[in-house]
Amino acid sequence: MNGKNSAILILNYITWEKTVECVESIMDSFSIEIPIVIVDNHSPNDSYAKMKEVFEKRAYQNIVLLQTESNGGFAKGNNFGLRYLKEKEISYAIITNNDVIFTKESINQLFAPLEADDGILLVNPKIMDADGGVTTKPYDYKQTLKEWITGRPDDKCAVLDENTVSKIYSFSGCCLAVNMQNFAGIGFFDEHTFLYCEEAIVSEKANRQGLDIVYNPKAVIVHNHGTTTGKNSLYTDKEFLKSLLYYLRVYENMKFSLVGIWAIMITKFTLKAILKKYHSMEGYFSCVAETFSRCWQLTWKGTD
């Protein structure tokens, strides 16, 4: 590819140093000066100013630095950048977390299937950790409710050929390449979620419109997972539950069973709290109230 009608979109929140590392990996792994659009999702620190200073000092000519007026979450922050790319008539875009490092040929390999087949919505890479292990395996089926609740896969994923591009159903949102026309056609990301379930929603939209999601194992990236959202956080569990309830109501047409699912998940959170799995218990009662309010709204009032 020549890179003239492609771009890379990076979403930054607080950890601007990771964004700089991500940009450096792009420069090192891709010989073409591809446009890189960085969206700072209204970080409460000086991320925007720091990145502006670094990139100006290094005289990068291919970087556009944008900032949202508020932090609306993963979907809204990425959509802010995607609308910018649409206005620039970009055909293909890589959407990536800032804690991703690109390896040699990974960018070419992410774009290649899109250029070969207009029926593809997005391409997912092979995702490794810093020690060389595979962190996230793609699913070739829709996740079950049991998997959502337990957080554990049913181990029924097909073994995919590591030498060829394969169709999949579910994918990881940490890094993906999209056909911009197709992605705009499904409305980009659904902004009703703040964190989590974005992939499930996109997969369902793609399935309904007959668009393919594929996995290309020749595109290899390293993902330092968890640097932006943290682990064992009551806040992230709360956001996950809110997004899950929305996904199940809107895309799986569940209604009255949402109350039971909410009760199961809150019990799970309570057990984690008792076992001191959380770093802090601050916000526990607000978590219960806020997620129940969301459950009630989706059950009885529909979506907003």
Average pLDDT, the chain: 92
Q: What is the percentage of the chain residues whose pLDDT exceeds 90?
A: 79
Yes or no: say if 186 and 211 are a contact pair by the CB < 8 Å rule.
yes
- pLDDT value at position 230? 52
As a whole number of Å, the end-to-end CA separation of the chain is 42
Structure tokens belonging to residue 4: 């003239």
Sign, CA dihedral 274-279-284-290, equals: negative
Q: Please write the tens of the pLDDT for every residue from 171-185.
A: 999 999 999 999 999
- pLDDT value at position 138? 81
d(CA 234, CA 226): 14
- pLDDT value at position 139? 81
Closest to 272 in 3D by CA, of 239, 300, 237, 243: 237
53: Cβ–Cβ under 8 A, 6 or more apart, which residues? none
- pLDDT value at position 159? 74
For residue 214, list its beta bridge partners.
Answer: 123, 167
- pLDDT value at position 41? 98
- Please state the pTM of the whole predicted model: 0.94
Structure tokens belonging to residue 127: 């995702």
| Segments in the chain below pLDDT 70 | 1-4, 154-158, 226-232, 304
Burial class (CB in 10 A: 0-12, 13-18, 19+), 103: middle
- pLDDT value at position 304? 66
